[in-house]
Amino acid sequence: MSIPPLTRTERRLVREIKTLASDLGLDPVEIAEEEDQELRYVGLTNARMHIIRGEVITQFTLVDDLLTHELTIEILGGSKKKPWRRKKVRFDRAKAVLIESRMSLRHKLDLYKTYRRVPARIVEIVAGLNSARNSLAHVFYLEGRRRRAKYRGQDIISVKTFDRFREDMQYLYDYLLRL
C-alpha cells in the first residue's frame, strides 16, 4: 500500500515544523553538525529536555481539561445525558469557575473522588503526572539539582521512563474518555 503524496497544506506544515525546529535549536541533524563537541552535547541534551518538558506539560494540560470537564458534569448532577448540550450556558459557566479557581489537578481529582470511585492506578498516574509537571515547569536547569524530575519514582528524562509515561497517559485517557 503506497502512501499518498502530501497535500499543499501538509507540505507547508512540514516546512513550518522544520523551520521551528531549526529556529529553536531542536533539529538533531543541525545540532550533530556542530564541530564543537561540548556545544553538540549541550545542544542535544537541551533538545531532548525541551521535547520531554513540552510533552509532559501538554499531557498535564489535556488531563486537567478532561478532568475539569468530568468534574463539571458531576457537580451539575452527574447525568450522562450530556448536560453541556442541554444547558450549555450553565455548563460553560460552571466549567469556567473551575478553571478560574486555579484548583490543582490533585485537588480536582480529590473532589472528583467524592462523586465517583477512582481506581488506585489512575490516582497514582495523576500524582506522577502532577509531580513531573511541577518539576519540569518550575525549574529550568535540572542537571545541577539534587532532586531530579521524576515520574513515579524514576528519572523522567530517561527514554525507558518516558515510554512508561506515555503508556500511562494512554491508560489514563482511556479511563477518562470512558467516564
- Span 92-109, pLDDT tens digits: 888 899 988 989 999 999
- Span 123-139, pLDDT tens digits: 999 999 999 999 898 87
Looking at the DSSP bridge assignments, the partners of residue 155 are 150
Confidence of residue 174 (pLDDT cuts 50, 70, 90): very high
| CB-based burial, 27-40: b 16+ in 10 Å, e otherwise | beeebeeeeeeeee
Average pLDDT, integer, range 39-65: 95
Average pLDDT, integer, range 8-14: 97
pLDDT at 146: 56
- Residue 3 counted as domain residue: no
Provide the whole-model pTM.
0.85
Confidence of residue 122 (pLDDT cuts 50, 70, 90): very high
- Residue 6 counted as domain residue: no
- Residue 28 counted as domain residue: no
Q: Which domain holds residue 94?
A: 34-178
**Cell, residue 97:** 469557575
Q: How far is the C-alpha of 128 from the C-alpha of 156, rounded, in Å?
A: 10
> For residue 15, how far is the Cα from the chain centroid?
25
- Residue 127 counted as domain residue: yes
Give the number of domains in the chain: 1
Q: How far is the C-alpha of 168 from the C-alpha of 153, rounded, in Å?
A: 14
Contacts of 6 (CB under 8 A, 6+ apart): 14
